[in-house]
Amino acid sequence: MVEKLKVDLSYLVFAWQDESEHAAYYLDTDTGSVVLVQRDLDDVDELREEIELQPNRFLYVPKADPRQVELDLFDFVFTVADEKLKTLLTLAMEAPDKAGSVRTILGKYPEQSERLRKWRDDIALQRVFKWLHAHDLEVEP
């Protein structure tokens, strides 16, 4: 049976994309809220205890696989029509910090930077919906 939840999708997508190693997010399947667990929060011990006591209620929101993030960036680069920019971005993809290098270059191209943000959000949203579906959850319109 699919359960429908009211979820703040923009925050869930943000949590999905948050690469911080110090932040963990859980989806409360009773309320639809996304819960941040971070060691410097005042109530972190209470949150952890609540999550541990009710493991069926809280779903861990997985972190993005860094290799997938790179693949997504490669896919984006192939959609760039400006050949000069595409060449710069292709070179940036050879840097140790691929995402940082791409962001630096796109800082001079605000329209493309915004297009990348929307691109990543759309991909993350698709993955969030698949993840929810895999857990028999659906977002209420």
Q: Average pLDDT across each block of 10 residues of the chain; the chain has 141 residues. List them in order.
A: 85 92 90 84 71 86 87 94 96 93 95 95 95 92 68
What pLDDT does 20 receive? 85
Distance of alpha carbon 9 from alpha carbon 11, whole angstroms: 5
What pLDDT does 21 receive? 83
Q: Specify the pTM.
A: 0.83
What pLDDT does 36 receive? 87
For residue 47, what are its two tokens?
């949150």
What pLDDT does 52 receive? 83
Taking alpha carbons only, the member of 77, 64, 78, 70 closest to residue 125 is 64
Task: Let me know: does 13 contact 27? Beta carbons within 8 Å.
Answer: no
What pLDDT does 8 receive? 92
What pLDDT does 44 receive? 66
Give the relative orientation of helices 66-78 and 98-106 as an angle to the nearest 10 degrees. Answer: 40
What pLDDT does 114 receive? 96
Spell out the domain ranges in the chain.
3-62, 66-124
Distances (CA, A) of 140 to 5, 121, 125, 132: 5, 19, 15, 12
